[in-house]
Each structure stands twice: as C-alpha cells, then as structure tokens.
Structure 1
C-alpha cells in the first residue's frame, strides 16, 4: 500500500482544486521511493501536511494551526471570493490488499462546510470517521 495522490480543494491556501501525484518513477511496483515537497516560505508546504492530517481524521484545530474549524476553509483573497467548503481526498494504492477493502485503489475524503457539517467518504460512499480509523488501524496506520 502506498500514497498515490492527494487532492486539495478549498483547504486553507488551496482555493482551486490541486492534485499532488506521488509517482513511482522506477516502473517497478515493488520498489520504494521518497517524495519531497519543496518550495519557498509561504508556498503552502505546511498546508499540505495539514491537509493530510485532516483527511485522516485530525480533530484538533490547534494541531492544524487554526483556531476554529471554519478557519481551514479558504477565506478569500483580492482575486477570489471565500469558499463554502473544503475538501481533501487521499488516494491509496491497495493492490497488496493491506487495507481490508476489496478495491485496488481507495479514496478517503473529508469535506467541511461553513455550517460546520463534516462528511467522510470512502470511494464516494459516506462513512463515519470511526470507519476510516478502524480500516487504517487494521493496516497498521
């Protein structure tokens, strides 16, 4: 199992849908690699880490460097209006069946609305946070 892709939309500084592909460039599915996220100060590197923590179920806004949950939704800028929701989706390659689901690829999503409502999804189906936590725990994550 490995992280294939991270999609971020409306989360903190990521107003537009942004995808980060974590590719295995060797062509060998069994080889392991390292992905580095680099950039100048203020370019969003820490927000990527926050997005990853958040989609996996982080509940503490302090750990996400925010005061309240609505702070993680894009607040707007001179060029772009504030958004009504934030969404992060994590795509995992499950071809080795380490996660106890019968899918080659598993997409874990979390969406937050300005109303405070939160949705959790696995491959597009609504689930509870506890369901995600249980599945990841069975895989040792």
Structure 2
C-alpha cells in the first residue's frame, strides 16, 4: 500500500483546500515552526481512524476543525481524503487498485467516512 495523495479542507491550520502529492522515492516535509508539518502527519492518522483526541493534541475530536483567527472565521467542518494504491508486484500494472478514504467531521454532528465515494 502506498499513499499517493492527501487532501485537506478545514483541518487544523489548513483552512483552505490543500493537496499534498506524494511521489515515488523519498518525500520530505520541511518548513519553519508553526507552518503545519505535524498537522499533515496528524491528518494521515486521523483519516485512517484515530479516535483519541489527546493523541491529536486536542481536548475533543472537534479540535481538528479550524478554530479561526483574528482575520478568519472558524470553519464548521474538517475533511481529509487520502488516496492510496495497492500494487501487486506479481501482476500487471493494470491490476493496481486505488483506495480513496475520506473522513469528515462537522461541529456538533460527529464524523463520517466515505470509501471510494460510498458512505461507510
């Protein structure tokens, strides 16, 4: 299983839609303190099913939703999508399978999952 892409909307510091493509080879994430490096890693954990708010550096799971700033209002939801591919080394490249998992949380409504576009 290989992660190909991560899409975030309203997740922690990623208020605007953001997309991280993970290409073959070594991928590094660098930047100054407070730019969101840890939030990217937490987004991967969260979309894959993390249920502990404490391990997400929050008091409650809704703390993953962008809380707002002096110049930006808070968001009502957060959504993370991960696109992964499973490649069987013994088969043709045509037999690769992609899996897209989305987790969305809304204030006061909890979170829900979609797998390849279907509610699960």
TM over 0.5: yes
Q: Match of 1:50? A: 42
TM-score (norm 1): 0.76
Counterparts of 1:16 and 1:103, CA distance in 2: 31
Task: Report the Cα offset of residue 103 of structure 1.
Answer: 7.1
State the SS of the aligned residue for 1:49: helix
Given the alignment of the two structures, is residue 83 of structure 1 paired with residue 75 of structure 2, yes or no? yes
The answer to whether the 8 A contact 2:101-2:115 is kept is yes
Counterparts of 2:51 and 2:44, CA distance in 1: 12
- Runs of 4+ in structure 1 off by over 3 angstroms are none
Counterparts of 1:46 and 1:114, CA distance in 2: 22
Q: Match of 2:22? A: 22
Q: Match of 1:36? A: 28
Higher strand share: 2
Counterparts of 1:96 and 1:113, CA distance in 2: 37
Unaligned ranges ≥5, structure 1: 25-32, 128-141
Counterparts of 1:103 and 1:87, CA distance in 2: 26
What is the RMSD computed on CA atoms of the aligned residues?
1.7
Counterparts of 1:4 and 1:96, CA distance in 2: 16
Unaligned ranges ≥5, structure 2: 90-94
The answer to whether the 8 A contact 1:69-1:116 is kept is no
Given the alignment of the two structures, is residue 114 of structure 1 paired with residue 107 of structure 2, yes or no? yes
Aligned length: 115
